[in-house]
Chains A and B, each alone.
Chain A
Amino acid sequence: MTIQSPHSKDLSQTNHWLLEGMKRYRRDLGAHIFIYAVAIFIILASLSLTIFLITKGVQLFTHDGVSLFTMIFGSVWDLHDGKYGALPLIAGSFAVTVLAALFATPLSIGTALFMVEIANKRGRKWMQPVIEMLVGIPSVVYGFIGLTVLVPFIREHFGGIGFGLLASLIVVGVMIAPTIISITVDGLLGVDQSLREGSYALGATRWQMISRVVIPAASPAILSAILLGMARAFGEALAVQMVIGNTAVFPKSLVYPAATLTTTITSSLGETVEGSTANHSLWALGLILLAMSYVFILVIRWIGRKRNA
């Protein structure tokens, strides 16, 4: 291949060179327009998403006169009866999120430590595809397996009707584990090797080295890994909807049906009439979900900034 410099041809002929320069400028101008158009598109998309969901979500309060307080702290949710107390749903969402994180975190951190501290390169080469494939399985497939394998299993061995928080926390826990693992692995790989050597030189065992040096050094990364996993759990819709039983009550135990914000939106949004109070109440649930997503994003960013500082 011959390399052609755009300058090589007409350096002596000033006019041509200027003309050529103009053309090149114009070509670049076109690229600039496209690139800045995309930048503006990104901003438009995120701003309009926020504004649209807020204006639609507040209609329950502005148009139908339901107060924000009764919605967030009311304990009865019944669309047919006109009761819009979302507390059981909010509690359900937080219960699934926290329980799934409690279930997934020890397993994920253990796996990440195995991949970085114990197994080294070859082990990582084996575990990496495992994590990627677990990420690749779609959430409906997780939900379907939960519905047809996990729910009957729980019904037989733990009582209840099988649908409920226990099934949800296991399904969601497995779904968020890969997220927690891969971010924790990145954090562990970022810990300086000399810290490990120093710890060994002081006579520490491997676990003493891991627990007193590596984990504290990687703790901001581990924390944001867990929070990212929780954000995913909070927003997960279909997989949870298939195994939680969808009954908007405070669950009596882990093996009785419950509901979350996302599952209620998924189950009911298609059934309500556009413009009705029931429909508006679901968009208000969406607004709560959006607000929580913002909180998660802000906290994760805040931790990330502390990590970089």
Chain B
Amino acid sequence: MRRADPLPELEELYREGFARFLRVAQAVTGDRESARDAVQEGFFKAIRHRRSFRGRGPLEAWVWRIVLNEARHAGRRPLDLTVEAERESANGNGDSGDEEERLRVAVSALPERQRLVLFLRYYADLDYAAIALALGIERGTVSATLSAVHASLRRALTEAPM
């Protein structure tokens, strides 16, 4: 049976999920403008290639995959969080600065796969199944990866390794 044109679904996903897509893209590119362009270009490609969507898994996971690919190629400075850091500095809130810096460095040092799983879990609010579909990996791999990420980051926050 022929699948209905997913264009309206794409528009709804864009309008409702834009902030989350932008957030993850920004974490990947390290730059808000690059992130915005990655989201725009990602959805443009989703529209253009929507006929190739086979319906295996939700449309959202398919779009995440496209947007992530755009973001990965748009940025060469993962988690360059200058804007947020400067904002905090300007606010004079230095109490948690060391901890945040350790976390920032630790996240930056994670392998790309681990970073993406982390971002999709915490910034995109996706569950294991959706993350697995978005990254093209097994669900069990998501679980194992996230466990490894948790271990690394907890260690970074408690013992100061990165």
Q: Do A and B interact with each other, yes or no?
A: no
